[in-house]
Homo-oligomer: A and B are copies of this chain.
Amino acid sequence: MDAIDQKEIMENILYLINEQDEPSLKNIIVDTHPADLAIILQDLEEDERNYLFSLMNAETASDVVTELDEVTREEIVSDLQEERLSEIVNEMDSDDAADVVAELPEDLQEKILAKIEPQDRAEVEKLLIHEEDTAGGIMALEYIAVYEDQTVDDAIREIRRRAEEINEVFYIYAVDRGNRLVGVVPIKSLFLRNPRRIIKDIMHTDVISVTVDTDQEEVANLVRKYDLSAMPVVDQHNRLVGRITIDDIVDVLHEEANEDIQRMAGIADEEILQETSTFKISRNRLPWLLISFLGELGSAMVLNRFDATLEEILISAFFIPVIMATGGNAGIQSSTIVVRSLAMHETGTASLWNRVFRELRVAVLNGLIVGSLLFTVIYLWKHNLDFGIVGGIAILLVMINSAVFGAVIPFILSKFKVDPAIATGPFITTANDIFGLLIYLGMTSFYIAFWR
C-alpha cells in the first residue's frame, strides 16, 4: 500500500463510515491485510475508529490489535466491552495475548483471564510472570516438540495435530523424557528421511538456545550472529518452555535501534512515535534538557571567570561558537562509533586503547585541517596573525579533547552497566563545551599575559 493508494483508501473509508455503509466496510475489512487495517485505524478519529473496529470479527480484530502501535492499542482496548475483549484475546497467540493483558488495569486483567478458555488462561498466566524485555517476555508457547526417541512419523503427526494453532513451523525441537532440549530438526528434513527413522539419529545436537531471563537485545544479537529463524527458550534446568519467532526478533531489533537513536538525542525513555500528549512528551524530554541546562551554567561560570580576557580581546568571543560546535561534532562522531561498536559487541575490552588511539589519530588529522582553516580565517578577516595561531591551535586541542572524551566515556559507562547511548547525547556535548571553553579561553588569557 503506497502513499497514494493509502490516501485514496482513507478517503473512501471515511465516506463509507459517514454513510454507515456496513456491507461495503465489511468487504474492505475482509480484503485488507490486518497490518494495513491497523494503519487505517491509527489514522482515524476515536469515534470513526471504534465504529470500524466494531465491524471486525474477533479473529480479524485480534490480528489487527497485535499490529497496532501501543498508543492506539491502549485507546481501542480501553473502549471495549469485557465480553468483546475476552473474545479477541481468546483468538490470539499466547505471547500477543499476554502483551495485551499485561497492559490492562489489574482488576480488568482478572476479569478477562476469568473469561478466556482455561488452557489459554494458564498459558497467559505463565507468560505474565516474565519481565517484558526478556526472552520469557517475548516468547510464545506455540512450538512443536517431540521426544528424541520418537520417529519422523511421530513428528509429522504432531505437526498435523497442532498445525491449526501454530502459524509458522520451521523447526521441530527434540527433548528428552525430562523435557530437556537436546536437539533440533529443520522441518524440510522430515521429507528427506524414512518416516521410521528415530529423531535422535537425524537431529542437530548443537542447538543454540536462550534462558527465559536473557535480555531481548542479547537474544536479537544471537539470532543475527547465527542467522537463526527461530530461537528456543529454556528454563534454568534446560527444559524447553517456549519459542521466539523471527518476526518478534525483527521487532526487537527495530525497538532497540529506535531506543538507541532516541537516547542519543537526549530522550529519556522511548517516545512512542504516535504519542500525542504534550505533558507525556515534555516529561520524557525535560530531564536531559535540564541536565544540559545546568551543565551549560558551568560554561557561563567559565566565561564569567574569563571576563577580563573577553573584554581585552572581544573578538575571542566571536569564535566561541565555531570552536565549541566543531569540537562537539568531532566528539559526537567518536562517541557514536564507539557506542555502536559496544552495542554490536564488536569491541572487546582489550580493544579500548586501540579504539581510543584510532580516534586520537583521526582527531589530530581533522584538527590540523580545521585548525589551519580557522587560522586562515582569523588572519584574513581580523588581520591578527598571533590570535590566528591561538585560535587554530585551540580548535585542534578542543577537537582532540572531545574525540578522546567521546571514545572513553562510553566504555566507562558500559563498565558500570549504564547504557552508553546516553553518552552521545547532551551529556558529552555539555562536558565538551565546558572543557572546550576552558582550553580556548585559557589559551587566550595565557596569550594576553605572556605573549602579546
Q: At the interface, yes or no: A439 with Cβ under 8 Å from chain B? A: no
Q: Nearest-CB distance from A62 to chain B (Å)?
A: 14
On whether the beta carbons of B337 and A318 are closer than 8 Å, the reply is no
Report yes or no: A253 in contact with B247, Cβ–Cβ below 8 A: no
Q: How many copies does the complex hold?
A: 2
Question: Size of chain A's interface in residues, with CB distance under 8 A?
Answer: 115
Residue in B closest to A157 when the chains form the complex, CB atoms: B191
Q: Which of these binds chain B: A44-52, A121-129, A292-300?
A: A292-300
A322 surroundings in chain B (CB, below 8 A): 293, 296-297, 299-300
Contact of A90 with B by CB under 8 A: no
User: In this assembly, does A361 line the interface, its C-beta being within 8 Å of a C-beta of chain B?
Assistant: yes
Q: Are B262 and A261 in contact (CB under 8 A)?
A: no
A231 sits at the interface (CB 8 A): no
Q: In the complex, are the beta carbons of A340 and B262 less than 8 A apart?
A: yes
Q: A266-B329, A289-B370, A296-B325 are in contact. List 6 more A-B contacts (CB 8 A).
A: A169-B187, A229-B247, A257-B261, A278-B361, A307-B314, A307-B318
Chain A residues with a Cβ under 8 A of chain B? 3, 6-7, 33, 35, 43, 67, 69, 156, 159-160, 163, 168-170, 186-192, 206, 223-229, 245-247, 249-251, 253-254, 257-258, 260-262, 264-267, 271, 273-274, 276, 278-279, 281-282, 285-286, 288-290, 292-293, 295-297, 299-300, 303-304, 307, 310-311, 314-315, 317-322, 324-326, 328-330, 332-333, 336-337, 340-341, 344, 346-350, 358, 361-362, 365-366, 369-370, 373-374, 377, 424-426, 429-430, 433, 437
